[in-house]
Structure 1
């Protein structure tokens, strides 16, 4: 387990567990109130979203969850850095994407199904210091984008 930060708003410890699996996410452990929330994030977009809360009988109020989501959004680079450090994956391998400007920085849109000139991501790596996301596609073309600058369709 690697701690990302301690929530100033609700006192939860925000962590990445070594046994976690894709998609990228953090777990917020609120020991005093006995609940855990998982929050998903992406290396491509800056969207963060509540995944689940357990146990439901101890679930926090919406306001507390909203404050937690805001803190994760504010510390998204640290969440990505920690996930990459612990898991060593961006969870993008095998995903379909529309990319422009091969071999250069360009735009990237993740797709839920094949369409147009979609290509499959073969490998993806992340450079935490520069927040660069480097992709290699199935056709061996490459591209780099800043984390959080892509879209999801």
Structure 2
């Protein structure tokens, strides 16, 4: 494993070194033997349980909810650890997806949406990088534009959260 991010009682939350997209953390209960994976986004402030494996006792909904809340509270650390561990191999799992951009007031001055069913006007993401120092996501598009986005203020749709 790449390293423990934090503990919640007997639940260890970590990024696995030999892992794969989408960006996610593992939650392992040392006494009960179950492992849950929680996916998270670099664009939006969204996270959710997306895989579960039980070897022993089943976790309570309360325990899973506490883990999910802790991941949201530590989302910046989760993003940084994923990027530091997997950024050179997997980036942040946005390449070859399409992004729609519309102007808004304030913040980044536009809203970026990576949709499951993007419009025909959506641009192709060629590469995506993350700068944990300033919490920014840089998307390089096929039309040559580079969008620099504040992590957590945009939209990423996914089949599973």
TM-score (norm 2): 0.86
Q: Could you say what the CA RMSD is over the residues aligned between the two structures, in angstroms?
A: 1.7
Deviation of 1:6 (Å)? 2.5
Q: Which residue of 1 aligns with 2:96?
A: 94
CA contact (8 A) 1:96 1:111 kept: yes
Q: Which residue of 1 aligns with 2:50?
A: 51
Q: Which residue of 2 aligns with 1:40?
A: 39
CA contact (8 A) 2:33 2:55 kept: no
Report how many aligned residue pairs link the two structures: 150
Gaps of 5+ in 1: none
Q: Which residue of 2 aligns with 1:140?
A: 144
Q: Which residue of 1 aligns with 2:119?
A: 115
Matched, 1:130 2:129: no
3-state secondary structure, aligned to 2:110? coil
CA–CA distance in structure 2, aligned partners of residues 105 and 21 of structure 1? 32
Deviation of 1:58 (Å)? 2.5
CA contact (8 A) 1:53 1:59 kept: no
> Which range moves more in the overlay, 115-124 or 60-69?
115-124
Deviations 1:46-90 (A, max 9, x none): 111001221175220000000000000000000000000000111
CA–CA distance in structure 2, aligned partners of residues 96 and 77 of structure 1? 24
Q: Which residue of 2 aligns with 1:5?
A: 5
